[in-house]
Structure 1
Amino acid sequence: MTSTDSKTQPKISHDTSEDHPPMYKVLLHNDDYTTMDFVVEILVRVFGKSLEKATQIMLNIHNKGKAVCGIYPREIAETKVQTVHNLASSKGFPLKSTMEKE
C-alpha cells in the first residue's frame, strides 16, 4: 500500500455516541412472592425469549437476585419496565424491573 492509498481510505469513527443512542439493560429482580412460572411468562411475552432461554434467565434471577433480560434504547427499556410492572401488578405480584445504562 502506498502513502496515497491511506489518504483515500474512509475514516472509521470509534465514537459510538454519535452513531447509536445509549443502550440500557433491563433487569428483573428476585422476590419471595412472584412465581417462577410468572417470571418465565414475562420473559417470553415481554422480552421475546424462548421457553428454554426464559427458564435459564428465571433461574439466574432466582439464584443471583437479578438478571439482565434485554438491552434496548432508553424509550424501549422504559416501556419494558412499565409493561412488567403493569402485568405483575394485574396478577398481584410485586415483581420489580429496573433499567441501568450499559
Structure 2
Amino acid sequence: MEHALQPPSMYKVILNNDDFTPMDFVVQVLKKYFSFDEEQATQIMLDVHFHGKGICGVYTAEVAETKAAQVNIYAREHEYPLLCTIEEV
C-alpha cells in the first residue's frame, strides 16, 4: 500500500509593530528580504503600523525560519527592535 506524500507544513512570516523602528526601514526590509516592490512593501508596512502586524509571506518551515532570522539580525545590526516571527498556517 502506497502512502501519499503529505505537503510540508507552511508558516506565515510576520513583522510585528514597535514604537521605534522607522516606517522606511520596514519598507526597506520588505523589499530586501521578501522582494516586494515599493507599493507592496508600503501596504504591508501600513498593516504592521495600523494593525500591529503584517504578513510577509507563507513558506516552508526552513525558509520561514531563515527569513525571520535574517530580518531580526539585520534589524539588530541597525539597532532597531523590529521583530519578525513565524506562525504555522
Q: Aligned Cα RMSD in Å?
A: 1.1
Q: Secondary structure at the match of 1:100?
A: strand
Residue 52 of structure 2 corresponds to residue 86 of structure 1? no
Normalization by structure 1: what TM-score? 0.81
Q: Secondary structure at the match of 2:34?
A: coil
From the CA coordinates, give the structure whose radius of gyration is larger. 1
Q: What's the counterpart of residue 33 of structure 2?
A: 46
How many residues were matched structurally? 86
* Aligned positions of 1:1-102 closer than 5 A: 18-102=5-89
Higher relative contact order (CA 8 A, sep 6+): 2
Q: Secondary structure at the match of 2:18?
A: coil
Give the whole-Å Cα distance in 2 for the aligned partners of 1:65 and 1:82: 20
AA in 2 matched with 1:25: K
Identity %: 48
Name segments (4+ residues, structure 1) moved above 2 Å: none
Give the C-alpha shift of residue 19 in structure 1.
4.0
Normalization by structure 2: what TM-score? 0.93
AA in 2 matched with 1:49: F
Q: Show structure 1 runs of 5+ residues with no match.
A: 1-14
Q: Show structure 2 runs of 5+ residues with no match.
A: none
